[in-house]
Structure 1
Amino acid sequence: MPGNPFGEDDNTAANPFDTNYGGSGGDMTFATPQNRTLASQQRALASIGHSERVGVSTLEELAEQGEKLDRAEQRLHEIAELQKDSQKQIGALQSWWKSWFTKKSTTPVGPVNKEPPPQIRNQPTHAASFLSQNVNSVSATMQQPSFQLSSQKQLSSQFDTNMDMMSSGMARLKSMATVMNAELRAQNQQLDRMDPQLSKVSDTMTTQNRQMNKLLGVKNPP
């Protein structure tokens, strides 16, 4: 038969908000404000770690892209120099054919002045340099240990440690943003520098093809 609802129940620990809930042998502990703060810090650290992973991936892509641009610009310079040598040979052929039919000596084609090589970076890209210098510190933030409910002293120590790690992580994210901006500016400047060179190479190729077709008696396309 149920007991008196207005009487004292022997099982006073049934209330989960009672500090004696579960008795001395209970294994459930409610989060204190300090523990909730640590949990919030852990979520913030996890978010920072995720942002750093995204940042590292972006920097790696930018570093690889920068290396490809450097190789492309160097190759573009080499092609331009080959075209100059080709133009010299075409000029010699034109002079030879002209002298063959006119029986007149012609002035030999002088050497073509070579342009200085492009200002290609001889140092690692901004992104590659940052990754090589900060790989260890970034990895440390990506792997955050979870905290456990403990004494007040340990909670305070963990709180301070988390704050230091959050500060370091935010500083690295700021540095990443600065490096990304510098790398993108450098690559945009490089693309602007390569654009007229690429157009010149393309125009020279078209002109030389027409000259060779004329020498060979092939009709040039309209």
Structure 2
Amino acid sequence: MYGKSGSNPFEEDDDDAYSFGNKGRYTRDNTDASGAQGGAMSRREQLMEQKMMSENRQLESTQRALASIYDSEQVGIATAEELVHQGEQLDNVERKTTEINQMTKTSQKHINNIRSIFGGIKNWWSGKKEEETAPAARPSKLQETLDNVTQKSNNPDDHPALRLRSDDDGVDSRGYGGRAGSRQSQVQTGGFAESRYTDNPAVDNNLDMMSDGMSKLKMMAMSLGDEIERQNDQIDRIQPNMDRAAGTIEHQTSQMKKILGK
């Protein structure tokens, strides 16, 4: 008799076929799941990389902005120092011209006394005129601003923009990179401002320093404008005084020549 008694010759074949089908379907399911999981991980890594690149670009952008602000600050300081020096010279010129005009008044009295025997009585009746005094030098707002700005950066190495500048190959000794590196190397040692603008503390810190730098630039610009206006007014006062002094001296020289018969 063929095969085992009471057994179905097709039963094992059906079981084998069923098992083979299930095994293939299980393998495909596992492959699909692994592929989906791998795709999700790849997408996540891609997003993380894009975020890191964006943060690096933001950091580099704020570093460049800080460097520009620092350069503008140095130009402003140099201009302010020059204007302060020019203001001191104008103060000296105005004081000297006022003194010269006062001296010409005194010398004119002596000339009048020489020309007239009644000069002494005339001067007695005319009384003592109030002497012209030079305007007191006003405290320079620009000098105060300059002192305030330079006081915060007595040591140039302490300026944040200079700390951000390093060679192209790495991070300087203070922990500021010329290029955007790891987050740990980009974060400044010490506390940051409480306000948070981004997820990167280094960018937040740079933004705070940019805000402080722009405030100083605005303050310097206003002080420079005030000083220029003040010096223009001073020049307008000095020129007539110089013209008057020159005219008086020339007139008194002519009078003395007549007295001496020249």
2:97 aligns to what? 76
State how far apart, in whole Å, the 1-side matches of 2:228 and 2:114 are.
Answer: 46
CA contact (8 A) 2:115 2:259 kept: yes
Greater RCO between the two (CA within 8 Å, min separation 6)? 1
Q: CA deviation at 1:199?
A: 1.4
Query: Do structure 1's residue 108 and structure 2's residue 121 form an aligned pair?
Result: yes
Aligned length: 180
User: Larger radius of gyration, structure 1 or 2?
Assistant: 2
| Cα distance, 1:49 vs structure 2 | 0.6
CA distance in 2, matches of 1:55, 1:33: 33
Partner residue, 2:23: none
- Per-residue CA deviation, residues 170-219 of structure 1 (Å, 9 max, x unaligned), is 1111111100110011111111112221111111011101001111111x
**Contact 1:52 / 1:142 at 8 angstroms: preserved in 2?**
no
State the alpha-carbon separation in 1 of the partners of residues 119 and 223 from structure 2. Answer: 58
Q: Does 1:163 align with 2:207?
A: yes
Q: 1:213 to 1:35 in 2, by over 3 A?
A: same
- Residue 113 to residue 141, structure 1, CA distance change in 2 (3 Å): farther
Give the CA RMSD over aligned residues: 2.3
1:127 and 1:183 in contact (8 A); partners too: yes
**TM-score between the two structures when normalised by the length of structure 2:** 0.63
- Structure 1 or 2: more helix by fraction: 2
Q: Does 2:108 match 1:94?
A: no
Aligned to 1:66: 87
Counterpart of 1:145 in structure 2 is 164
Are 1:185 and 2:198 an aligned pair? no
Aligned-residue offset at 1:122: 4.0
For residues 145 and 207 of structure 2, the distance between their equivalents in structure 1, rounded to whole angstroms, comes to 24
Distance of 2:102 and 2:182 partners within structure 1: 72
**Counterpart selection for 1:133 from 130, 144, 148:** 148
1:145 counterpart letter in structure 2: L
Give 1:120 shift.
Answer: 2.9
Q: Is the 8 A contact 1:77 1:117 kept in 2?
A: yes
Bigger mean CA offset, 169-178 vs 194-203: 194-203
Aligned residue for 1:212, secondary structure, equals helix
- Pick which of 86-95 and 109-118 moved more: 109-118
Q: Distance in 1 between matches of 2:247 and 2:60?
A: 64
Aligned partner of 1:202 in structure 2 is 246
Kindly state the Cα deviation for residue 165 of structure 1 after the two structures are TM-superposed: 0.7
Please say if residues 80 and 201 of structure 1, whose CA atoms lie closer than 8 Å, have aligned partners that are also in contact.
yes
**Structure 1 consecutive aligned stretches of length 4 or more whose deviation exceeds 6 Å:** none
3-state SS of paired residue (1:183): helix
- Structure 1 residue 143 displacement after superposition: 2.7
Of 113, 121, 140, which residue of structure 1 is paired with 2:137? 121
Q: Distance in 2 between matches of 1:175 and 1:115?
A: 39
Deviation at 1:119, TM superposition (A): 2.2
CA distance in 1, matches of 2:160, 2:183: 25
Q: 1:44 aligns to what?
A: 65
> What amino acid does structure 1 have at the position aligned with 2:182?
S
Contact in 2 for aligned 1:73/1:194 (Cα 8 Å): yes
Match of 2:204, SS state, is helix
The alpha carbon displacement at 1:150 in A equals 1.9
